[in-house]
Amino acid sequence: MLLYPIKLRPHLAKRVWGSSDWAQSYLKESQDCSSVGEIWNVYGECLVAEGAYEGLTLDSLYCQFPRELGFTTESPHFPLLIKWLRAQRWLSLQVHPDTELARELTGRNDVLGKTEAWYVTQAQPDAELILGVHPQIGFAEFLQSKGREWLDLVERVCPKVGDCYNITPGTIHALGPGVTVLEVQQSSNLTYRLYDWDRLGLDGKPRELHLQEAQAVLKRHWQANCEAGKAQETELAYAYPKLEGRSLVVSKFFRMELFDKAGSLHWQTSLSQPEILICVKGKAEAAVSGNCTDLSLGEACIMAAGGAEITVNLNEESQLIRVTQPQVKS
């Protein structure tokens, strides 16, 4: 079963830093795109768009086909969230916890922490993002400041198209205006805001800050800020499927690789590790066991595990990202 590429209906997320001039180009159907900041393409509550499982949620498939969709015991929900972000204004200065600390802080055993990665697909010449702090800044010194004062302590990066940033728990970060990224993350909405530019939310009220929780995260993971932007962990540390493209990011939760050369690629899925393909430029064609789908800019599809043959066709303009997860040891 599941021997066809699974496409999902995207979810649009309105954000105070969103805009209305970008999202429609990533969607096949006309929708209200006002104030949209995020398009969620792969998420447990998204509905299957077509085929035998049309109308079912990804989470329901995840429970129905645990082997084919890489079931883990950490959570009953599909473990990854893949989305597009376009910042019209600065996102909040924020941090995320790991799973252990997330459960301590929330008192819930069904939540995940948040490791994420940003792949830059558009960036204006003067665009910036925040990633970590100045090398000489320590945890105690950081806590002596607050609010806008923190902006003098953080590290600013000028992103370029094709850059990829691994953002581990505890890393202070913020996406700046004029940047579009594909974000791959653990399926978690735990964001602890340190500073939000003294603005109001879409409801007209000040947005909540989470200073106590953020301080707990920083205390445990301060080293992440000292290592932000440095070389990532070696792929050999995790049992991933065979690398088929150019490796971008490897973590203990997912690997991202890029296909950017015209031609046809062929490989077999593993017996227990599903794959996700996302078109980040142009158009592409993907097939599993002979069942084919077209992928336009922004679209994603899930290829279930099970040893099926995958074929990907790219032209000169195509770029595709493949996301895989490590082997789950029983």
**CB of 248 closer than 8 Å to CB of 242:** no
SS (H, E, C) 225-280: HHHCCCCCCCHHHCCCCCCCCEEEEECCCCEEEEECCCEEEEEECCCCCCEEEEEE
Please give the structure tokens belonging to residue 319.
Answer: 């770029």
Dihedral pair phi/psi, residue 223, rounded to 5°: -60, -25
| Backbone φ/ψ region at 229: left (φ over 0), alpha (ψ -120 to 50), beta | left
Dihedral pair phi/psi, residue 167, rounded to 5°: -115, 100
Our answer to whether residue 199 is catalytic in this structure is: no
Q: How far apart are alpha carbons 144 and 218 in whole angstroms?
A: 13
Task: Indicate the length of the chain as a whole number.
Answer: 330
Please give the structure tokens belonging to residue 29.
Answer: 């159907």
Q: How far apart are alpha carbons 72 and 55 in whole angstroms?
A: 24
- Describe the crossing of helices 211-221 and 99-106 by its angle, rounded to 10 degrees: 150
Q: Which of 193, 220, 246, 255 is catalytic?
A: 193
Spatial CA neighbour of 114 closest among 40, 184, 37 = 184
Strands (E), 163-245: 164-167, 173-175, 179-186, 192-195
Active-site residue set: 193
